[in-house]
Structure 1
Amino acid sequence: MEILNSGKVIEYLKRAKKIAVLTGAGISAESGIPTFRGENGLWTKLSPNELASFEAFYNNTAIVSEWYNHRREIIEDSKPNHGHYALVELSKIPEVFNLITQNIDGLHQKAGYTDVIELHGNILESYCIQCGRRYTSEEFEEIYLNAMNHIPRCNCGGLIRPDVVWFGESLPSESIERAYQASINADVFLSIGTSAQVVPASDLPRYAKRNGALLIEVNPNRTVLTDTVDLWLQGKAGEILPKFVEEYRAILET
């Protein structure tokens, strides 16, 4: 394994027909959204079992709803960074491009890429656990602010929960199937800003490499994936991605 510059990455990308990208909390952290793992991650200060499980939600609905409403407000005020926008530009180049994310913040969509494979859901959407009715962020906020004891309920009386995957829950079957297929079929796979610790997302880059893809990691720190990748670009996504995407486009246009 070598740590190579963006020019070398471009040489690999020039030959790629199918590119798959997996993004994790690191790219969102550059937009000011706290991560869950890592030195100052939220799970070093809070217990996942108290806030990120269906049991916690059902038994302490007001507390969990307040926590997620607070996080939703932070995310709604956040903006995509240069890394998000660079991926939108990258998506326009290969014949096939798939963007897979572990993030629940919708920043890829805000940046302009709408066909995102969201493995862990989206905090800006909610649904009733009884009848399944879905709510936008604006609709949920109105219900939440006017709800008795801040316990959001649907018209049918059911509790309204954020559309995110909690501990102990399965990932959306359609999303994980699309992610597996994108990884297996990729010529180049980019792992960006993820600790590569959470399964099954952490398996995706390994599936890609096993099926012949060139594996590139963009991360300021070493991860459990680093020793297995073909290229490690050490640094922040917002600094690295715009540079080599711009150079890549320039080379293809000459």
Structure 2
Amino acid sequence: MAEQRAPHLVVFTGAGISAESGIQTFRAEDGLWANHPVEEVATPRAWRRDPAKVLEFYNQRRDQVRRARPNAAHKALAALEKQGFRVSIITQNIDDLHERAGSRQVLHLHGEILKARSTVDRRMQYPLPRGGIELGDICDKGSQLRPDVVWFGEEVPHFADACELVGEADLLLVVGTSLAVMPAASLLQYAPLDAPCVLVDPEAELLAPPGVTRLSEPAGRGVPALVRHWSREGRLWLPETVAAS
């Protein structure tokens, strides 16, 4: 008899899950982004115009990420993986909170702030366990290092990998995203027709597309609640209390 395949939960997380750990989103009215329009710090044009300003901004963000700690939602997803579920996480976030919580399969759509990369060869990446990036820091090919993040106007190199993962889902869990940033927002279209999809977000009633189950809770409450149901039953399903919401 063939071995039964472990249920595959594919999780798509956005800024909302990290915000509960104290990391500001670029839409927030306070914090690092408040006085830094996207056009000034998160586009290729901004980098060409004032690389020192861009580096300083991301050095500040990097410090913020290092101070942050995984919250209950990050920990619940890692715990589910340890129980034998197959959990693949696709995240729009550039922090490492999923990894620090214990998740092992994490795909960063928009890059990782704790890495630098070459400006001439994106495959040349360098971990940043401490400190930041300064003008004059160069890769092995002699070019200036930049943050390993995807800026507005740049291609998303791992999008095809993310689509493939979503296509393998037994259940798709979307957490803390407005589903407004393309192309990531289109990922839901790649889910199998018979795979349920749940959106956990305080604004879920407003944000969820048709056919998506809404759980209008912060990530730190909604995700652990779902994980408790799945852990108890040993399978991925929609509890009545959630499906009715």
* TM-score class, shorter: 0.7 to 0.9
Please tell me whether the aligned partners of residues 19 and 94 of structure 1 are also in contact (alpha carbons under 8 angstroms): no
Summarize the alignment of residues 79-98 of structure 1 with structure 2, pairs less than 5 Å apart: 79-93=69-83, 96-98=86-88
Match runs of 1:89-128 below 5 Å:
89-93=79-83, 96-128=86-118
Offset of residue 44 of structure 1: 6.1
What is the CA distance between 1:94 and its match in structure 2? 6.1
Shift of 1:96: 3.5
State yes or no: 1:204 paired with 2:181: no
Q: Is residue 241 from structure 1 mapped to residue 223 from structure 2 by the alignment?
A: yes
**How does the TM-score come out when normalised to structure 1?**
0.80
Residue ranges of structure 2 left out of the alignment (5+ in a row): 1-5, 236-245
Where 1:90 maps in the other structure, the secondary structure is helix
Query: What do the CA deviations read for 1:127-183 (whole angstroms, capped 9, x no partner)?
Result: 121466432214663x63xxxxx55444654211000001111011xx222211121
Q: Matched residues in 2 for 1:223 and 1:100: separation?
A: 22
Same amino acid, percent of matched pairs: 39
Query: Aligned pair in 2 of structure 1 residues 94, 41: CA closer, same or farther (>3 Å)?
Result: farther
How far apart in 2 are the matches of 1:131 and 1:17? Answer: 37
Contact 1:126 1:140 in 2 (8 A): no
Counterpart pick for 1:169 among 150, 154, 159 = 154
Q: Give the secondary structure class of the aligned counterpart of 1:49.
A: helix
Per-residue CA shift, 1:177-217, capped at 9, x if unaligned?
Answer: 221112122121111000100111111123326x3211101
Structure 2 counterpart of 1:216, from 183, 187, 198: 198
Letter in 2 for 1:127: R
Whether 1:136 aligns to 2:121 is: no
**Cα distance in 2, alignment partners of residues 67 and 168 from structure 1:** 18
* Structure-2 change in CA distance of 1:96 and 1:156 (3 Å): closer
- Residue 213 of structure 1 aligns to a residue in which SS? coil
Distance 1:100 1:119, change over 3 A: same
What displacement does 1:74 show?
0.6
Other-structure match for 1:3: none
The answer to which of 221-230 and 45-54 deviates more is: 221-230
Q: In the superposition, relative to structure 1, how do residues 40 and 228 fare at CA in structure 2: closer, same or farther (>3 Å)?
A: farther
Take 2:205 and 2:58, find their aligned partners in 1: how far apart are those partners?
28
Q: Where do 4+ consecutive residues of structure 1 move more than 6 Å?
A: none
Structure scoring higher RCO (CA < 8 A, sep ≥ 6) equals 1
How large is the Cα RMSD of the aligned pairs? 2.7
Corresponding residue pairs, total = 230
- One-letter amino acid of the counterpart of residue 177, structure 1: A
Q: Structure 2 length normalisation: TM-score?
A: 0.83
Unaligned 5+ segments in structure 1 are: 1-15, 145-149
Structure with the larger helix share: 1
Shift of 1:124: 0.5
